[in-house]
Amino acid sequence: MPACRAYAIQTALAGGIGYSSRPMTTLTAELPRRDYRVISLIGVAHGSSHYYQLAFVTMLLIVRDSVGLSFGEIGMLGALFYAVSGIGQTGAGFAVDRFGARPILAGGLLALGLSLALIAAAHSFWAFAAIAVLGGAGNSVFHPADFAILNASVNPKKLGRAFSIHGLGGSLGWAAAPAMYFLDHTVGWVATALIGAVPGFILAALVFFNRTDLVDHRIKARAVAAAATEKPASIASVLLQAPILLCLGYFALLATNTVGIQQFAVPAWSNMFSVSENFAAICLMVFVVGSASGMLAGGYIADHFHQHERVAAIGLLTAAAFTIPVATQAVSPWLLPVVLFVAGFAGGTTGPSRDMIVRGITPPGASGKVFGFVYSGLDVGSFIAPLLFSRIMEAGHPAMMFWIATGLYVFNAGLVTLIRQASPKRIPAAAE
């Protein structure tokens, strides 16, 4: 590479992560702090996304008797939420690359907060369906916007940990949603919906007005494109590569597993282990906290152990092993939280390595498109999950949920290895 071209790329990339003409001692003090601010804000924003995903269905389960919803209708509404999110996510990725990630992310947060607030006034299936559409549209922006901001704003040497905090935020958001059962018992479901809407409004304002720390990833994309001599790849050639399509399938199966358990585990465990709804909700929170803890550990592993497919496969197989005692009901109710914590932890460790695999196959300037497209698989699986698992619940076979979960863990362990083998060799810094 000619020296002038190399210098142009290095200068552009440095500009994308916040370097300037200020003294180096000032920059070395400011950049780590800025990294932590960005990682924290995006992690909390991602947590709110997961919180609202699960809070929507949790609220439907809470109001089920009051408004006359069946498990089947709740499954349809949950599927509608994720169908809209999945259809919108690739489009949101293009919007991120066109308009910037920060305003798109703020709009998604605002839409999710509003969708939960509207539940307080809804009393029919069709009203809930309209809310599902609004919430799904808001949920569609997070992965393309979040990863575009993180890739552009954070020191590449910290990206594994940045991705782990991103995933940790999501897991903690899921962990927070079952608390709505307790809030409902205290203040009623109308107040619960209104209180639950507040975080989305606050975070939307924080993201929208935080121009200093949240770097616009398009700065990098334009600089790299200006310095490069090769013709830009077409959209089809970028998105229809074998490893990207395999990632799409991986995320679809992952979400089918995760969302199905999270949405229907509370009534399933109540039935299987003859425990109260509150105890089952605590078990779900323990499972999600275990996943969050594993995600945090997985960030350090991803930064120091670069065979990411092995980390993911080992974690998934371990999660499968600890799901079998749940499926067979071979564990006592009092040991159930322990088993669930370990299963959640093992699955959680795979998240940052999974995200690093996606980053490694992403061409320069295409973060929004690729992450939006690949992570729309989460919405595909999340669309399938409530339809599948609600049928299992209505048929009276709750244990079947966990046999399916075991099988999906094992299958995905093989699939993530195949993704890595099909991936082209790239320089890690190629993805913004």
pLDDT digits (tens, 9 = 90+) for 161-188: 788 888 778 777 877 887 888 888 889 8
Helix axes 101-118, 142-153, angle to 10 degrees: 140
Share of the chain above pLDDT 70, in %: 83
Say if CB 168 and CB 80 are below 8 A apart.
no
343 burial class (0-12, 13-18, 19+ CB within 10 angstroms)? buried
Domains and CATH numbers, the chain: 30-214+231-430 (1.20.1250.20)
- For residue 343, pLDDT over 50 is answered with yes
Query: In this predicted structure, what is the pLDDT of residue 371?
Result: 76
Rg (CA), the chain: 21
Over residues 131-164, the pLDDT tens digits come to 999 999 999 999 888 888 888 788 777 777 788 8
Q: Where are the alpha helices (DSSP H) in 210-241?
A: 218-227, 235-239
Count other Cβ atoms within 10 Å, centred on residue 331.
17
Residue range 204-214, pLDDT digits in tens: 999 988 877 77
Token pair 């308009």 in the structure block, residue? 99
**List of residues 6+ apart from 369 with CB closer than 8 A:** 90, 93, 94, 97, 144, 235, 238, 239
Q: Using CA atoms of 147, 150, 155, 161 in order, give the dihedral in degrees to the nearest 10.
A: -80
397 sits in which H/E element? none
In this predicted model, what pLDDT tens digit does every residue of 366-381 receive, in sequence order? 667 777 788 788 778 8
| 307 membership: H or E segment, kind and range | none
One-letter amino acid at 196 equals G
Sign, CA dihedral 15-47-385-163, equals positive
Q: Which pLDDT score, from 0 to 100, does residue 28 have?
A: 40
pLDDT, tens only, 223-274? 554 444 445 556 666 677 788 888 888 889 988 988 888 778 888 999 899 8
